Amino acid sequence: MENRPPDSPIDNEEGHSQETRRDFLKHSSLLTAYALSPSSLVNAAEMNGLNPPQADTVSIHIDINGTSRTLHVEPRVTLLDLLREQLDLTGTKKGCDYGQCGACTVHINGIRALACLSFAVMQNGKKITTIEGLAKAEASGSAHLHPMQAAFIKHDGFQCGYCTPGQIMSAVGCIREGHANSDAEIKEYMSGNICRCGAYEGIVEAVKEVKQGGQKV
Amino acid sequence: MNNFQYTQPATPKASIDALVKEPTAQFIAGGTNLIDLMKHGIAAPKTLVDINNLTLRTIEQQGNTLRIGALALNSEVADSKLVLEKQPLLAQALNAGASAQIRNMATVGGNMLQRTRCYYFYDTAMPCNKRQPGSGCGALEGYNRIHAIWGTETALTGRTSSCIAVHPSDMCVALAALDATVLVSGPKGDRRIPFTDFHRLPGDTPQIDTNLDRGELIVAVDIPNNAFAKHVHYLKVRDRNSYAFALVSVAAALDLNGSTIQEARLAMGGVAHKPWRLTEAEKALQGKPATTATFEQAATIAMQGAKAYEHNAFKVKMAPKAIIEALKTAAGLG
Ligand SMILES: Cc1cc2nc3c(=O)[nH]c(=O)nc-3n(C[C@H](O)[C@H](O)[C@H](O)COP(=O)(O)OP(=O)(O)OC[C@H]3O[C@@H](n4cnc5c(N)ncnc54)[C@H](O)[C@@H]3O)c2cc1C
Ligand code: SF4
Ligand code: FES
Ligand code: FES
């Protein structure tokens, strides 16, 4: 797509990925490490992609926030990297990249899931909703917020805001799944979203309000 | 991460064939463990065989058995009316694991084959016999707080195995307690593996976690009907309230006639290389009154043969308390 970062491993609709500056730096620093390291490190370096095989790309059709797209991606590209680096949908955050923080939570076919532990190629034929498309999915008008977004603002459900897109996507999922019936249940079913600022009280209030409001989310 | 070939076969047979064709190929289901391992450079398959197109997602009662397809999601199983009614212990164990998002992605088959969370296994700069056979065990001489207290001696010589890691799954502890059977399909045909024989002890080949053969696909898990629907409890002790692996966990199931224990099942997680069934303690519970004193006796019997390493002696103290607590809650003595 447009605006592909210069060192993205993802193909755009026409082009093909090439070895890039970031790969080159990675490889050259690995070579230095190679010369200086015990064998276990060297093995790790080899496994981590020194001389990766030439990439094959796969074409996929996915619906992202209501727009259907045909994309060509290397199988190793995660849904998170596809969204952020190829499609410029940077609302979905990369916190840990290992499934431990929830910042990358999106909806896949309406169900909350972690984009960092999903390969993009495995989403062929699916509908992805990110924070950018959450309100749009509900109503037209660009100033319109999803009720959960409005509730997070009302109840101070954030401070720095880094975890917030993931929290909001997860909160909607929590209600859809029918697990927002008490403070304890909300806390348990929202525990996959870590907030370093500790905005948890406001988050629970926001989820409760939307749940009690009874709107369809 | 190295790039890989990606295929998504339409049938179990084509999936098995694709796996057999390339020696490093792996199945991928939810991806929540495999992608993590690939990002860490611990797994580097040249081919990924995506099995999500297979129709292995059904949860249904078949005669005297509850059959759960290998691709049923952890959240679907935990929320299934049938599971809640027939095997609530399984639902409790599933809900104690990971997070809601991960349970929405993780499958039953993948959960069984998730690999240990030993920090040295994850740290490719450290020796680890499981990751790199023969390189040594970082945990034996290192920080072994989360490691095993049972099954760490090799059967033949009695000396310490080359790995003291634990199996991290919660779901598997319940399945071990419930006498489940794993249905697999492979290059040589179909077979059934009793759950307690599915995972293995490390011995001197800790790189092999299970008795599954190369190319075998998990198709389903069968749980035979039982009388444990009313008195069960899954207790998980962890470093924080939620979203953490177990330090120790206990799956307890009782069949009570009045206050007499007809039959009991006990299994633990976080204590061994496989879900750890406590059969001697189960026998000690049978026919006894469901009282705290009975549970204390059973816990003492259960702890026989436990062996601590430098940093995990607390588990030997914690485990019997967790057993007693789980049994009391299961019996309604809360
Ligand atoms: C942050 C975090 C916290 C977690 N906390 C917990 C926890 O507290 N308790 C817990 O129990 N788990 C926990 N997990 C682990 C989680 O439960 C597993 O990652 C998940 O169950 C794996 O299932 P999957 O379908 O995603 O497997 P995948 O990652 O797709 O596969 C895992 C392995 O199984 C193989 N495989 C998958 N399906 C089949 C099949 N049908 N037949 C043959 N082979 C197959 C794959 O080849 C691969 O080797 C946690 C994970 C994360 C990331
Ligand atoms: S305990 Fe097992 S997994 Fe951990 S370092 Fe030792 S060999 Fe590796
Ligand atoms: S970035 Fe995906 S869970 Fe942290
Ligand atoms: S608002 Fe800062 S991390 Fe949650």
pLDDT tens string B97-143: 999 999 999 999 999 999 999 999 999 999 999 999 999 999 999 99
Position A55 scores a pLDDT of: 59
A8's tokens: 């993205």
Rounded to whole angstroms, how far apart are CA atoms A55 and A18?
9
Instruction: Check CB contact under 8 Å for B48 and A75.
Output: yes
Q: How high is the pLDDT of residue A18? A: 40
Whether the per-residue pLDDT at B300 is higher than 90: the answer is: yes
Say whether residue A2 is in contact with chain B using an 8 A CB cutoff: no
What's the pLDDT at A137? 55
Contacts 24+ apart (CB under 8 A), A135-142: A136/A65, A136/A66, A137/A65, A137/A66
Residue A28 has pLDDT above 50, yes or no: no
Q: Which of B3, B40, B104 sits opposite A111 (nearest CB)?
A: B104
Q: What is the overall mean pLDDT for chain B?
A: 97
Q: In the predicted model, is pLDDT for residue A110 greater than 90?
A: yes
pLDDT above 90: residue A4 = no
Nearest CA to B292 out of B324, B332, B253 is that of B324
- For residue A204, what are its two tokens? 């629970």
Percent of chain A with pLDDT over 70: 71
What mean pLDDT do residues A154-175 have?
A: 98
B14, B255, B330, B334 from B231: Cα distances, Å: 43, 7, 5, 11
Lowest-pLDDT choice from A19-28, B73-82, B193-202: A19-28
pLDDT(A5) > 90: no
Residue B158 banded pLDDT, cuts 50, 70, 90 = confident
Give this prediction's pTM: 0.91
One-letter amino acid for residue A114 of the chain: L
Verify whether the Cβ–Cβ distance B241 to A170 is below 8 Å.
Answer: no
Q: Return the number of other C-beta atoms located less than 10 Å from residue A31's C-beta.
A: 11
Assembly ipTM: 0.96
How much is the average pLDDT of A132-153?
Answer: 81
φ and ψ at residue B18, rounded to 5 degrees: -65, -35
Average pLDDT for A11-21 = 40
Q: What is the mean pLDDT of residues A138-147?
A: 69
- Residue A6 pLDDT: 39
| CA distance to partner chain B, nearest, from residue A108 (Å) | 10
The pLDDT, as a whole number, for residue B225 is 98
Does the beta carbon of A122 sit less than 6 angstroms from any atom of ligand 1?
no
Asked if the Cβ–Cβ distance from A48 to B98 is below 8 Å, we say no
Beta carbon of B312 within 6 Å of any ligand 1 atom: no
Q: What is the mean pLDDT of residues B209-222?
A: 98
- Whose CA is closest to atom 4 on ligand 4? A195
Residue type, B52: N
Distance (Å, whole) CA B299 – CA B320: 5
pLDDT of A16 reads: 38
Query: Which residues lie below 8 Å from residue B87, measured CB to CB, with a gap of 6+?
Result: B66, B174, B178, B223, B226, B228, B229
Distance (angstroms) between ligand 3 centre and the Cα of B289 equals 48
Contact between A174 and B39 using a beta-carbon 8 Å cutoff? no
Q: What's the whole-number mean pLDDT along residues A139-156?
A: 84
CB B208 within 8 A of CB B200: yes
Across B197-208, b (16+ Cβ under 10 Å) vs e yields ebbbbbbeebee
Residue B98 Ramachandran class (φ > 0 left, ψ -120 to 50 alpha, else beta): left
Segment A84-98 shows an average pLDDT of 98
DSSP per position, A17-45: ----HHHHHHHHHHHHHHHH--HHHHHHH
pLDDT of residue A47: 45
